[in-house]
Amino acid sequence: MIGPGAIAQKNQQTIAKKYDVAAFLYPAYANDDPRLRPFWPAGNGEWETVTTMQQRFPGHYWNRKPAWGPVNEADPAIMNMEINEATNHGVNVFIFDWYWYDGRPFMETTLDNGFLKAANVNKMKFYLMWANHDVLNLWDTRLNKYNENNVIWTGKVSREEFEKICKRNIEKYFKLPQYYKIDGKPVFMIYDVPQLIAGLGGVENTVAALKWFKEETKRAGFPGLELQLTMWSQNTNYSGVDGSKSKNPENDFVKKLGFTSATHYQFVHFMNPADDYLNILEKVKKEWARIDKDFELTYYPHVSIGWDNSPRTGQSPVMRNNTPDNFAKGLQMAKDYVDAHPKQAPLITINSWNEWTETSYLEPDNVNGYGYLEAVKKVFVDHK
């Protein structure tokens, strides 16, 4: 006869640890957003860049094709399918790249019309990464070949515009049950800190604005705001701060601004992408250890699938040997990091769900099939 102690032990062993595996989602693959047409006039967003690659560069080695076709990700039926595929393979959070230009949102239709209207939206969480960078000619393949880095839209915003953005996101997104929160605090990630500071008029003004954002989030009924930094050197080394009297100016700067956590967006931000993937993983592991040592904020480990930006430009440094099996090694490394930090949320970020033009995507294709999704499943679903 099996005693109650043995039963309890068995039940404890069968309770699998839950991981929040979050993939960045680039919302440019949509058919119903008129603001995309100046960059991609065919009307299906940046799929135009993907599907015309061989036409623009005949015989080029980059010849990727989406297994699901150039789908409209702002269609709730398509997003319903993608949510099923994501969650079945262990991805349970989408981090939407979120944009605001010229006084209004940009590329928001994939989130509003696709994800949030999908029948199975309750299977996943989401949060926003404010991609507050300038818009140059890079997206428009008709112009980027001339290397004219003209600023079409600036990512800088004034304090008035900043408050408008924050209030809108609190009301429209933070209050949704699907919005990802840590200890009840909505997570909001900011991509470009120097751009934020330039728009708000200096470091002290930015400190005040971000403090106001946190207080405004509390006034909306939340215990606080999880303000997440995109961790790369441009966001931690700010020339406008005197670090001569500090032993750790990077940490002091980030702490002063009020960021409470961080993750990376892409390996390319802190690694030479023209390298072997396994070499990169070794360097990434050392960078995680450095962040642990040098920063007081909570770091959530990030794994990128690869890098090859040639669909936009015809040439690019290329990350080598980033096979699904080696990607799985990066995921296992991130899982081990989370397990070694049990006091923080079990969050891991991945670049990305669908960055086709940067060749860093989980979605299945004609080269690796479902290989990258299966790697996530192997690490986080099959072997817990």
pLDDT digits (tens, 9 = 90+) for 254-305: 999 999 999 999 999 999 999 999 999 999 999 999 999 999 999 999 999 9
Q: What does the pLDDT look like over 320-330, one tens digit per residue?
A: 999 999 999 99
Asked if the structure places residue 3 within a domain, the reply is no
Q: What's the pLDDT at 6?
A: 45
Residues of the chain with pLDDT under 50: 1-2, 4-14
Sequence-distant (6+) residues with CB within 8 A of 79 are 73, 110, 114, 115, 117, 118
Residue 2 in domain: no
Here the CATH number for the domain that contains residue 53 is: 3.20.20.80
Phi, psi at 302, each rounded to 5°? -125, 140
pLDDT at 150: 80
What pLDDT was estimated at residue 298?
A: 98
Within a domain: residue 223? yes
- Name the residue among 50, 108, 36, 45 with its Cα closest to residue 72: 45
Per-residue pLDDT at 8: 42
d(CA 73, CA 77): 9
| Length of the chain (residues) | 384
The total number of structural domains in the chain stands at 1
The reply to whether 109 falls in a domain is: yes
- Which two structure tokens, joined as six digits, stand for 209? 């604005």
Buried-state track 75-91, b at ≥16 Cβ within 10 A, e below 16: bbebbbebbebbbebbb
Whether 1 is covered by a domain: the verdict is: no
* pLDDT for 143: 74
Range of the domain at 260: 16-382
Q: Is residue 300 part of a domain?
A: yes
H or E segment at 48? helix 47-51
**pLDDT tens digit sequence for 107-117:** 999 999 999 99
